[in-house]
Structure 1
Amino acid sequence: MTPHDFTHRLDSRMLGPVGAARLWWSFPDDEDARRDAARIPVTPEAPLPDPSSGMLAVTWLGHASTLLWVDGVTVLVDPVLSPGIPGAAKRLTPPGRTVETLPRVDAVLISHDHYDHLDVRTFASLPRATRIVAGLNTAAFFRARGFTDVVELDWWSSIGLPGLSGEVRVEFVPARHWSRRTLTDRCHRLWGGWVVTAPDGRSIYHAGDTAYGSFLKRIAGRHRRIAIAALPVGAYAPRDLLREVHMDPAEAVRAAGVLDVQRVVPIHWGTFVLSGEPVLEPIEATRRAWARSGRAREDLWDLPIGGSRTL
């Protein structure tokens, strides 16, 4: 029987009113944020990978919104393509794609229900037959909005999608985070990340939204051929408030080491003002941490918004 909520899985401190007020007052000035955001490269409607090639590839659409391409299967993770979200100003940078110019997708994966990852305005423009895959207790949310093909998964459970050379597995994995959209649904829907695995065993990991934690070792032990990881690097300051829910850039690079993954796509930055660090600091700090780690520069896939990279 599915529990009413997942508070028993919570290993992060949720912000109370005082912490939320502190966070809000830490936000950079809007003029400064938009000046910095103007330096973020955006390539709207750039050419996309060809799914018929069967390669592994990633397209970053801004924030956590990402297209993953695995053995002919195309999945869309956390699509937030509208002009803004509740609780934040309008987006700083345009999305890499509009809903109308998205490619055909085999499934949409939702990491959790926060507004910067689950956007009802984006979903309002998607066909109601779109397959939605999300954590436990999420199906009712989508069925109430007319979606007819909704799959709920617990951590470590998966579904199969037909690829070019066999079955592609889509597995829901733990994250150190939480969920809530209203005052009354605290931790009601399960949160997590995604591992999409090709028939040859290579996979792409999308962490969703998460702090650093011991669960990464469990993911690495279960998935030993993660070829690409999309890891969040933004929304981490003030650190004492957000350490338990968001990785900072240094932790993201350390997570890559734990996962034994060579190539990393930095996500969860440059789109919304959600925390106190300057807009460009997450990617600049990620590049510095990457260089300090001794990793090859070409393996840091710091894509422009709308950009793709193929393995």
Structure 2
Amino acid sequence: MKNHGFLKLASAMTVMTLGGVGYAAHRRSRNPYYRGPVSDHFDGVRFFSPGQPPDKGLGDVARWQFGSGREAWPASVPSPFPQDTPPERVDGLRVVHIGHASLLIQVAGRNILIDPVYAKRASPVGFTGPKRANPPGIAFTALPPIDAVLITHNHYDHLDGPILARLWAEHAPTFVAPLGNDAILRTYDATIPVETRDWGGSVDLGGGITVHLVPANHWSARGVNDRRMALWCAFVLTTPQGLLYHVGDTGYGDGAIFREVRQRFGPPRLASLPIGAYEPRWFMQPQHMNPEEAVRVFREVGATQALGHHWGTFRLTNEGPGEPAEALGRALAEAALPAERFLALRPGQVWDSGADR
């Protein structure tokens, strides 16, 4: 039991890095990823989301890890959808869920991967940490030619370094990430070029598609001493097929960042929103929305269609594997919204542009 408890705590610290371990001791340490001017969300060493609560400490991590309320997960949570074999190009809009927060977006003749993770564990090590409960919804060898890879932030369930290096070697896509993440990618392949931007920045992906980096209420870390030293973001894509809004991870906060997206860009045709990794709320609320909050975001941005991700592949938090989809159904019913307007995607599941007609 002691060893099991130690592994649980080590997993929380080194894999998810959800506590502020080492923060005070390294408050004045040099940022190894990024150097730049102080701003309203960068203090010269660390990034922050304005108005976000203080970091959790080691005591909070221990309280969560050794507390009650963790739902059991089976070793396998199979998807009812087979692995997809995408077409080489799509003129319209087609989205496939690879798993967790990984999506392939095919739009206007371009193929865009967001947060592609193919690792068996969302972890810096192979012997502990959240283990994949279902295979990727697209086999890596079945991917079409990839034109761009978008990275929202550096947590291991979103930034899979070895697979990004393989994508560069085999597809040579444009990589887009928030500030500081280029240094992390280059530890896996020093030749990877990365277009890094601050919140408010944008990158032209060609074919009439531009990706814009916008705020998210989250944080970053690859270990215990680099908390918030690389920026995180959400993405807005302006495309010939309409506006796409993708959030990798975020807390709801006061909702201002979502209302600002609508004010700046207009209502999205499609919003892909996280719906999992939200329990216990006392710990997760600042950084992870629950399904009820995701429905609130869906309504506030005015999206025509929403797709739910970040659930059912890696056991990161306390809720069971099926609870996010069930909670999403309840939240949609409470809001008097049709279930088909906001789908909880499973690996291999396809949504295409005919779905919202």
Residue number in structure 1 paired with 2:162: 121
**Pairing 1:79–2:116 present:** yes
Residue 145 in 1 paired to residue 188 in 2?
A: yes
Match in the other structure for 1:239 = 281
- Structure with max Cα Rg: 2
Matched, 1:162 2:162: no
1:8 is displaced (CA, Å) by 4.3
- 1:244-302: CA deviation from partner (whole Å, max 9, x where unpaired): 00000000000001100121111000011111111110011001111221122222233
CA positional deviation for 1:27 = 6.8
Partner of residue 251, structure 2: 211
User: What secondary structure does 1:159 align onto?
Assistant: strand
Cα separation, 1, equivalents of 2:174 and 2:116 = 13
| CA–CA separation in structure 1 for the residues paired with 2:341 and 2:192 | 39
Q: Following TM superposition, where does structure 1 have runs of at least 4 consecutive aligned residues deviating by more than 6 angstroms?
A: none
Structure 1: give runs of 5+ residues left out of the alignment: none
Q: Secondary structure at 2:343's aligned position in 1?
A: coil
Contact 1:49 1:310 in 2 (8 A): no
Normalising by structure 2, report the TM-score.
Answer: 0.79
Q: Which moved more, 1:66-75 or 1:266-275?
A: 66-75
CA contact (8 A) 1:56 1:70 kept: yes
SS in 2 for 1:33: coil
CA distance in 2, matches of 1:36, 1:240: 28
Q: Does 2:82 align with 1:43?
A: yes
Q: CA deviation at 1:120?
A: 1.8
2:62 is matched with 21
Q: State the match for 2:49 in structure 1.
A: 9
- Matching of residue 282 in structure 1 with residue 324 in structure 2: yes
Aligned equivalents of 1:93, 1:28: Cα separation in 2: 20
Q: Which structure is higher in RCO with an 8 Å CA cutoff and minimum separation 6?
A: 1
Deviation for aligned residue 1:134: 0.2
Give unmatched runs, 5+ long, in structure 2: 1-34, 38-43
Question: What CA distance in whole angstroms lies between the structure 2 residues aligned with 1:209 and 1:274?
Answer: 13
RMSD, aligned CA: 2.0
**Residue type at the aligned position of 2:204:** G
Q: How many residues align?
A: 302
Q: 1:295, 1:34 → 2: CA distance?
A: 31
Percent identity of equivalent pairs: 36
Report deviation, 1:94: 1.3
Q: Provide, for residues 128-182 of structure 1, a one-character-per-residue CA deviation record: whole Å limited to 9, x for no partner.
A: 433211001111222332243210011111111222xxx2111111100001111
Partner of 1:248: 290
SS at match of 2:319: coil
**Residues 211-232 of structure 1: CA distance to partner in whole angstroms, max 9, x if unpaired?**
1131111111112141111100
